[in-house]
């Protein structure tokens, strides 16, 4: 996500938190469905900030989403095919979905009983499919649903979910907006591959993550099929519908760069593909191989959203991005999208490293030493409001300490290692070890100490977890 402490002219803060009314949706669950074939999966994974997000008892391996969007992008008729592996013997399981009407549900082709409480769907499959729901078994759930997807207003006034634009809509999902447009296991700890088919009126485009598999027009409607092979957390999924100009170029190494640009900002966005290619090449030198099969961006109009977001493969930008913002969101492809936080408490690993990438870029291209960026961050009182690793609550997840203090932690590690080759080797090793997986703060600190051979207890206690600003030499 974009850095909240930068100049307001180029980025707006996005607090990843839902209003109490929407949190009430997340709090609902259906109690105790027992059965001889197993026990119900949990209606939440007890995330420190969003305990009702996500669901227990299974792991999604693939989402097949088919969306038919009306001419105004106000309503959709959709089908979600969710392939999952049971991690316990299940008698029932949950899906997260807010607002939309569920028309039918089947599990392994047989109708399933459905009950709903807020944003929790509880599915009780037919006992005839019990073998598929035993530990290690694979089962396919088909949910047919329809309606007008919600736009969720966050505590700071920014919005997520299904955002209407001048000529369509864009779906943005951090931390929970994706449950407004498709049912699923909406916690970053459950990543999956995706096929997304979106049908829109002829003349409009539909852009999603991954690569375009096909585009077919019939009867005045066009269907776009996008495929994401690498695992993706649901909050990173996106769909953008509108009169975008979609263009595919490539980096010098042949990586596809797919950009979708609103015609209203086409002139100011003309240089974006070349800048993406340059930043990706620089990122590979710093952080190791780019982790996905394509790069790119979706560039909407100013006002389409109040923030940029690191949606996988192609971040979304509300208007033409400057270089610093491009660096930040593209760095997230390594930090956050490939290596995804185990819980929302680990968000500093995303934002601290993406902010540090900005410092590195400024040092390499603008002559601003990293030490100077560190000094500015250190002097900023906002960065010391709370420890980067322990935001007080969900409303604080996108506040300055997660970004600026997080980046300072990274730089203090570099100083302690005192060898740039070794430091960047540690970073590349971290990204390689957890590629396309989830990792926690504890995983990170253990990795750094193991690879550096240093006891960094004091660094963690003061810079990462401490309640006050430590002195610097």
DSSP string, 352-410: HHHHHHHHHHHHHHS---HHHHHHHHHH-GGGGSS-TT--SSGGGTTSHIIIIIHHHHH
pLDDT at 175 over 60: yes
pLDDT top residue among 18 and 372: 372
pLDDT at 423 over 60: yes
DSSP 42: P
Number of other residues whose CB lies within 10 A of the CB of residue 450: 11
Instruction: Determine the Cα–Cα distance for residues 162 and 164; give it in Å rounded to an integer.
Output: 7
pLDDT at 80 over 50: yes
Q: What percent of the chain has pLDDT over 70?
A: 92
Q: What are phi and psi of 58, to 5 degrees?
A: -155, 165
Nearest residue to 132 via CA among 177, 84, 68: 84
Tokens of 378: 């250190």
How big is the CA angle at 226 (ends 230 and 436), to the nearest 5 degrees?
10
- At 154, is the pLDDT very low, low, confident or very high (cuts 50, 70, 90)? confident
* Average pLDDT value for residue range 67-88: 98
Nearest residue to 166 via CA among 273, 262, 272, 282: 262
Tokens of 198: 């979106």
Instruction: Determine the Cα–Cα distance for residues 382 and 366; give it in Å rounded to an integer.
Output: 25
Q: Please return the burial class of 136, using the count of CB atoms within 10 Å of its CB with bins 0-12, 13-18 and 19+.
A: exposed
Cβ(308)–Cβ(321) below 8 Å: yes
Q: What H or E segment, with its residue span, contains residue 275?
A: helix 272-287
Q: What H or E segment, with its residue span, contains residue 170?
A: strand 168-172
* Average pLDDT value for residue range 329-342: 98
The predicted pLDDT at position 158 comes to: 76
In 23-117, at which residue ranges do the beta strands (DSSP E only) sit?
Answer: 39-40, 58-69, 76-86, 90-96, 101-107, 110-111, 113-117
442-462 pLDDT, tens digit each = 999 999 999 999 999 999 999
Instruction: Determine the Cα–Cα distance for residues 185 and 44; give it in Å rounded to an integer.
Output: 9
The predicted pLDDT at position 42 comes to: 96
97-107 pLDDT, tens digit each = 999 999 999 99
Number of alpha carbons in the 13 Å side-chain half-sphere of residue 250: 6
Instruction: Give me the chain's average pLDDT, please.
Output: 92
The predicted pLDDT at position 370 comes to: 98
Instruction: Determine the Cα–Cα distance for residues 28 and 353; give it in Å rounded to an integer.
Output: 35
* Average pLDDT value for residue range 322-338: 98
**What are the residues whose beta carbons fall under 8 Å from the beta carbon of 457, sequence distance 6 or more?**
none
Q: What percent of the chain has pLDDT over 90?
A: 90
Nearest residue to 426 via CA among 259, 297, 288: 288
The predicted pLDDT at position 15 comes to: 34
- Give the full edge-to-edge strand order of the sheet including 138-147: 110-111, 101-107, 138-147, 76-86, 58-69, 192-201, 221-232, 211-218
Number of other residues whose CB lies within 10 A of the CB of residue 60: 21
* Average pLDDT value for residue range 191-220: 98
Tokens of 126: 């037919």
245-282 pLDDT, tens digit each = 999 999 999 999 999 999 999 999 999 999 999 999 99
- At 156, is the pLDDT very low, low, confident or very high (cuts 50, 70, 90)? low
Which residue is associated with the tokens 């979905």? 97
Least confident of 2-11, 42-51, 277-286, 388-397: 2-11
The predicted pLDDT at position 36 comes to: 45
Q: What are phi and psi of 441, to 5 degrees?
A: -60, -40
Cβ(314)–Cβ(207) below 8 Å: yes
Report pTM.
0.93
Instruction: Determine the Cα–Cα distance for residues 214 and 64; give it in Å rounded to an integer.
Output: 15
The predicted pLDDT at position 153 comes to: 80
């Amino acid at each position: 996500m974009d850095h909240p402490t930068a100049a307001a002219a180029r980025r707006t803060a996005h607090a990843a938190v839902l209003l109490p009314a929407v949190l009430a949706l997340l709090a609902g669950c259906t109690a105790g469905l027992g059965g001889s074939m197993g026990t119900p999966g949990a209606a939440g994974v007890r995330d420190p900030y969003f305990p009702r997000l996500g669901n227990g008892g299974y792991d999604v391996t693939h989402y097949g989403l088919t969306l038919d969007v009306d001419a105004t992008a106000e309503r959709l008729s959709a089908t979600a095919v969710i392939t999952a592996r049971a991690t316990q013997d299940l008698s029932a399981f949950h899906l997260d979905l807010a607002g939309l009407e569920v028309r039918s549900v089947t599990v392994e082709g047989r109708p399933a009983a459905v009950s709903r409480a807020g944003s929790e769907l509880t599915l009780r499959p037919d006992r005839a499919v019990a073998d598929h729901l035993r530990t290690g078994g694979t089962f396919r759930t088909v949910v047919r649903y329809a309606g007008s997807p919600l736009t969720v207003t966050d505590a700071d006034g920014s919005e997520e979910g299904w955002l209407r634009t001048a000529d369509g809509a864009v779906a943005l999902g951090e931390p929970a907006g994706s449950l407004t447009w498709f049912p699923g296991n909406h916690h970053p700890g459950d990543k999956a591959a995706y096929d997304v088919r979106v049908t829109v009126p002829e003349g409009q485009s539909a852009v999603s993550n991954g690569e375009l598999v096909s585009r077919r027009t019939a009867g005045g409607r066009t269907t776009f099929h996008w495929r994401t092979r690498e695992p993706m957390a649901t909050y990173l999924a996106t769909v953008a519908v509108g009169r975008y100009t979609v263009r595919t170029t490539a980096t010098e190494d042949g990586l596809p760069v797919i950009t979708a640009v609103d015609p209203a900002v086409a002139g100011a966005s003309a240089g974006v593909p070349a800048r993406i290619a340059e930043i990706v090449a620089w990122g590979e030198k710093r952080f190791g191989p780019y982790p996905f099969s394509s790069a790119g961006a979706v560039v909407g109009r100013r006002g389409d959203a109040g923030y940029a977001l690191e949606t996988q493969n192609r971040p979304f930008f509300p208007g033409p991005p400057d270089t610093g913002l491009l660096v930040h969101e593209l760095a997230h492809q390594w930090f956050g999208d490939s290596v995804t936080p185990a819980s929302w408490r680990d968000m500093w690993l995303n934002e601290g490293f993406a902010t540090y990438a900005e410092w590195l870029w400024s040092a390499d291209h603008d002559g601003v030493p990293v030490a100077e960026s560190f000094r500015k961050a250190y002097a900023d009182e906002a960065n010391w409001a709370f420890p980067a690793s322990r935001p007080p609550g969900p409303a604080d997840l996108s506040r300055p300490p997660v970004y600026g203090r997080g980046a300072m932690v990274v730089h203090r590690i570099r100083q302690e290692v005192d060898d740039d080759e070794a430091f960047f080797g540690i970073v590349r090793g971290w990204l390689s070890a957890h590629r396309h997986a989830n990792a926690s703060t504890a995983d990170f600190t253990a990795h750094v100490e193991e690879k550096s051979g240093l006891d960094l207890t004091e660094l963690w206690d003061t810079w990462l977890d401490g309640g006050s600003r430590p002195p610097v030499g």
